[in-house]
Homo-oligomer: A and B are copies of this chain.
């Protein structure tokens, strides 16, 4: 509630539930105030499923379990088997931190106290995750740290109360369309022109990393309608029907062809290389990069001729081409891609304004250059340039 972090649990749970055929109605974030939390829990119990995260810790201000029991109208009891389990873990923690176990004793009893009738799903550290049936409704309490929540969530889905709930839901199938080069509003218009979603097909359109990700959630029986929507949305901008990220896709395309890759970066400053090396196993394709932020390094490390920089400037199609060819040559790779531009906020001129970016890809199948005038701030310009570099390699390699 202080704005210092984004809620990652709500979207994770909403996306998971949607895939299982459960329509998420509301995400609520509240602070430590017990009244606010109890109010939110009561509202949640108006729905068939309530999932709450956080507030399971050992201290007095972690009150989720106590308030959930109150909202559900059930009592609390200490589960002695659970207490023994938490005690054992706490002893280990006390030893590791070199602190007396007495410091933990109160917390152990507190964390082993759960609503009557609750199913214990598992422990995250010393915090138990629980599932509680409340009449026809189900409540789930999970730890707040996203990694712990995500680890315990599959186990929640295996509990009897949730299995009964899921048996009533019909999971839609999902189709994935990935676009590059189209705007979100173009896709939205194409969708509207083909009749929009509904009739058993839910469509999400999301601009992410400067691509447009469209997901179709298709109810059983609505396959023909989904085919129509898919046909209406398909365009030259559609580049993938699978969820694989673009860096991974580019690496696969190169790997399939036995080609290696390097980058030569100026304004992106290593961002393209960083995106590529995010992918596990990228090392068999990606050899390395030269980040030539200064003109000296463009000359010295990439062999861009001094005269070329004097004549055309470092932000030019000519410099981009020389950088890509220089990287191919100097780093001994099959394919190289370069980026040079004005990321701003300073450094722009009337001839070369902020947002002007040149890219070039060079490989055994030929050469491609691109010029962009990106709107937006420094981070946007760098981000778009990096994605554009990946797509330029994709298009060079696939000759599309």
User: Are A270 and B281 closer than 8 Å at their CB atoms?
Assistant: no
Which stretch in A113-121, A283-291, A366-374 binds the other chain? Answer: A283-291
Q: Within 8 Å CB of A181, what residues of B?
A: none
Cα–Cα, bound, A297→B291 (Å) = 14
In the assembled complex, the CB of A293 is this many whole angstroms from the nearest CB of chain B, namely: 5
Q: Is the interface of A mostly helix, strand, loop or mixed?
A: mixed
Cα–Cα, bound, A379→B274 (Å) = 11
Q: Choose among B12, B274, B277, B294 the residue that contacts A3 (Cβ–Cβ < 8 A).
A: B12
User: Are A382 and B278 closer than 8 Å at their CB atoms?
Assistant: yes
Q: Within 8 Å CB of A280, what residues of B?
A: 344-346, 378
In the assembled complex, the CB of A349 is this many whole angstroms from the nearest CB of chain B, namely: 15
Cα–Cα, bound, A347→B280 (Å) = 10
Within 8 Å of chain B (Cβ to Cβ): is A34?
Answer: no
User: Are B277 and A289 closer than 8 Å at their CB atoms?
Assistant: no
8 A Cβ contacts from A186-224 to B: 202, 204, 206, 208, 213, 215
A270/B277 contact (C-beta < 8 A), A30-B26, A283-B293 known: yes
Which stretch in A13-21, A161-169, A233-241 binds the other chain? Answer: A13-21
User: Are B332 and A296 closer than 8 Å at their CB atoms?
Assistant: yes
Cα–Cα, bound, A344→B330 (Å) = 28
Q: Choose among B3, B206, B293 the residue that contacts A14 (Cβ–Cβ < 8 A).
A: B3
A31/B24 contact (C-beta < 8 A), A270-B291, A271-B274 known: yes
Within 8 Å of chain B (Cβ to Cβ): is A305?
Answer: no
What is the chain B residue whose CB lies nearest that of A28?
B28
Within 8 Å of chain B (Cβ to Cβ): is A51?
Answer: no
Cα–Cα, bound, A25→B13 (Å) = 22
Interface string of A293-304 (1 = CB under 8 A from B): 110110011000
A3/B31 contact (C-beta < 8 A), A269-B274, A296-B332, A331-B297 known: no
In the assembled complex, the CB of A298 is this many whole angstroms from the nearest CB of chain B, namely: 9
A3/B13 contact (C-beta < 8 A), A270-B274, A274-B268, A294-B283 known: yes
Cα–Cα, bound, A249→B27 (Å) = 37
Interface string of A249-270 (1 = CB under 8 A from B): 0000000000000010101111
Q: Within 8 Å CB of A27, what residues of B?
A: 1, 7, 28-29
Interface string of A356-400 (1 = CB under 8 A from B): 000000000000000000000011001000000000000000000
8 A Cβ contacts from A29-59 to B: 29-31, 33, 36, 40
Q: Choose among B30, B286, B288 the residue that contacts A301 (Cβ–Cβ < 8 A).
A: B288
Q: Choose among B31, B268, B296 the residue that contacts A287 (Cβ–Cβ < 8 A).
A: B296
Interface string of A316-338 (1 = CB under 8 A from B): 00000000000000111000000
User: Are A213 and B4 closer than 8 Å at their CB atoms?
Assistant: yes
Q: Within 8 Å CB of A268, what residues of B?
A: 274, 277
Within 8 Å of chain B (Cβ to Cβ): is A156?
Answer: no
Q: Within 8 Å CB of A294, what residues of B?
A: 283, 287-288
Within 8 Å of chain B (Cβ to Cβ): is A11?
Answer: yes
User: Are A5 and B206 closer than 8 Å at their CB atoms?
Assistant: yes
What is the chain B residue whose CB lies nearest that of A293?
B288
Beyond the given pairs A288-B293, A291-B291, 18 more chain A to chain B contacts, judged by CB atoms under 8 angstroms and listed by A's residue number, are A2-B14, A3-B11, A3-B14, A4-B215, A24-B31, A25-B30, A268-B277, A269-B270, A269-B286, A270-B271, A270-B273, A270-B277, A273-B274, A273-B293, A281-B346, A287-B297, A288-B301, A289-B291
Task: Supply 20 A–B pairs (Cβ within 8 Å), ascending by A.
Answer: A2-B14, A2-B204, A3-B14, A3-B15, A3-B16, A5-B11, A6-B8, A7-B10, A26-B29, A263-B291, A269-B278, A270-B273, A278-B378, A278-B382, A280-B344, A287-B297, A288-B292, A288-B294, A288-B297, A291-B291
Which 7 pairs between the two chains have the least Cβ-Cβ distance?
Answer: A269-B277, A3-B15, A270-B270, A270-B273, A3-B14, A289-B291, A27-B29
